[in-house]
Chains A and B, each alone.
Chain A
């Protein structure tokens, strides 16, 4: 810390300036999601909501597709006595179901990604795998072509495999999309670990899997966590695959639902309130996940320092 003491002021001045610049659009999104419509669109912008409202959050979280347009009618439809199977009723569920769907897909993607990328990265770095460089180049390929270019062949493939409209289909696609970054990151992480550590463990007779989990992975934690954050980011924020490959209301992903609410029922509508509130709703989980991983970032780094 002493190293920086002479530039103490500069260090914090730069950081706090950046913080203000970077936070501002997010702050603006946040306060806008609490403003009443008349305060939302005005030529005298307010920098904090003078008249707090939770109407957009209420609308999103308890979003009732049948209630949106006809407030009075919903009671009649309850009392009409017609029982429609719960599966086909969409009212009152809000975005809870889409939220769960997105959580499942994200969790699946994270887990599958770290397994596949750790093994792959290890094999392509530490081990003497044949065709190493060729495989590595192959694995990089998915970032080189826009996803939308492959939509139609992918759709056909998923349909043949029976994976359209399923979470598993999305998980596999997202994991495949994570391969370049994941394997690259894991490769860098394993590369920086001295090979002597592995040799010692091998002399002790450990198996390759044992070496990975007990020796190598603890040292590669910053890389691993980064891969997890990215996997979460990629699957949680995905729009195009979730939009195209999911066809039933009960399997809809969060982003799709939020966009539908924000863009409203008609062609040109733009509901700033719902849009901002929706983005905060989709924003929070990933922030919590990141903050949760932060502590391990630090622990991982100090841990490796101790061992060395």
Chain B
């Protein structure tokens, strides 16, 4: 057996646990769900093949388009917020200075709080009458002279309020991915850049960021996938309101499946979300692979 052949075999063997797990606990249910999406699927009894009916039903549903639109707006706004905070804190924590370990721990703290609890606590902080954040905002002149600020008053303000919570909660995840990437960059690159007389910003721009590409790709893919699948924060904090203006795709899916008991259309919604995200992810992988 040639060396290459052996290496190929060893490689397959090593990747097989991951593939088996994936096949059983992901691909199999996924195929099932795909199958469901082409059927009228009652809770009991025989499913009936309906072809593309579920998809047609869904596309004709205004609620689907509203939620799709909102989900995109949310993703487009929250992703840059998360990324800017994450890269900023990652660079701060990667500096060779006293206290970085401490800062890193603090920035990571919100991540480990359970999402539901965090949503409830922020809901409380945002409370019109007893919310500390609202006091602070009113102090800075938001809410006019009557001091009757309520962040849930409009769809847009609701979204920004949730964005702030999500940024607080999740930038730590991206930060830690970026830090792992930063630590993998060897010091000689910085030394070389320094010898060439580059300023700190130039070094970040020309050395750090290009070398950080794979980690940035991962951080962005995760954050976009997470935002397209946003659910808990909106269920708890806005309940999709006011007047359905903050209903996300996954909320709509859960409503379909578990509140309206329409399992077929719910399955087709899952498939659609998957296709959207697959396209977005492939695009991102392409973008970040260039010149790398």
Contact = CB atoms under 8 A, between A and B. Distances in A.
Interface of A: 1, 3-4, 11-12, 14-15, 18-19, 21-26, 28-29, 41-43, 45, 115-117, 119-120, 122-124, 127-130, 132, 135, 137-146, 148-150, 152-154, 156-157, 172-173, 175-176, 179, 181, 183-185, 187-189, 191-192, 208, 222-223, 226, 229-230, 233, 236-237, 239, 255, 258-259, 262, 270, 272, 275-276, 278-279, 282-283, 286-287, 290-291, 294, 297-298, 301, 305, 308
Given A149-B267, A279-B114, A144 B168 contact: no
B32 A153 contact: yes
Nearest to B127: A41
B180 A222 contact: yes
B124 A272 contact: yes
A127 B14 contact: yes
B214 interface: yes
A188 B215 contact: yes
A145 B183 contact: no
Interface in B127-141: 129-130, 132, 135
A189 B184 contact: yes
For the complex, would chain B's binding face be called helix, strand, loop or mixed by DSSP majority? helix
B81 interface: no
Contacts of B130: 41-43, 45
A296 to B, nearest CB: 12
A139 B20 CA distance: 11
Contact of B121 (A28, A189, A208, A222): A28
B92 interface: yes
A287 B112 contact: yes
Contact of A22 (B28, B168, B229): B168
Contacts of B144: none
Nearest to A20: B106
Contacts of B161: none
Given A132-B11, A149-B33, 4 more contacts: A11-B95, A11-B97, A119-B18, A233-B111
A172 B26 CA distance: 11
A116 B18 contact: yes
Contacts of B181: 188
Contacts of A127: 7-8, 10-11, 14
Contacts of B15: 119-120, 123-124, 129, 135
Interface string B163-202: 0000010000100110111011111000000000000100
A146 B113 contact: no
Interface of B: 4, 7-8, 10-15, 17-19, 21-22, 24-30, 32-33, 36, 89, 92, 95-99, 101, 103-118, 120-122, 124-125, 129-130, 132, 135, 168, 173, 176-177, 179-181, 183-187, 200, 214-215, 218, 221-222, 225, 229, 231-232, 250, 253-254, 257, 263, 266-267, 269-270, 273-274, 277-278, 281-282
A143 B221 contact: yes
Contacts of A124: 11, 15
B112 A290 contact: yes
Contact of A150 (B14, B29, B99, B111): B29
Contact of B11 (A128, A230, A276, A308): A128
A208 B9 CA distance: 11
A150 B92 CA distance: 39
Contacts of A18: 89, 92, 103, 106-107
B11 A144 contact: no
Nearest to A124: B15
A85 B181 CA distance: 54
A192 B24 CA distance: 31
B22 A142 contact: yes
Contacts of A129: 8, 11-12, 14-15
Nearest to B184: A192
B22 A138 contact: yes
Given A145-B277, A239-B114, A43 B109 contact: no
B270 A1 contact: no
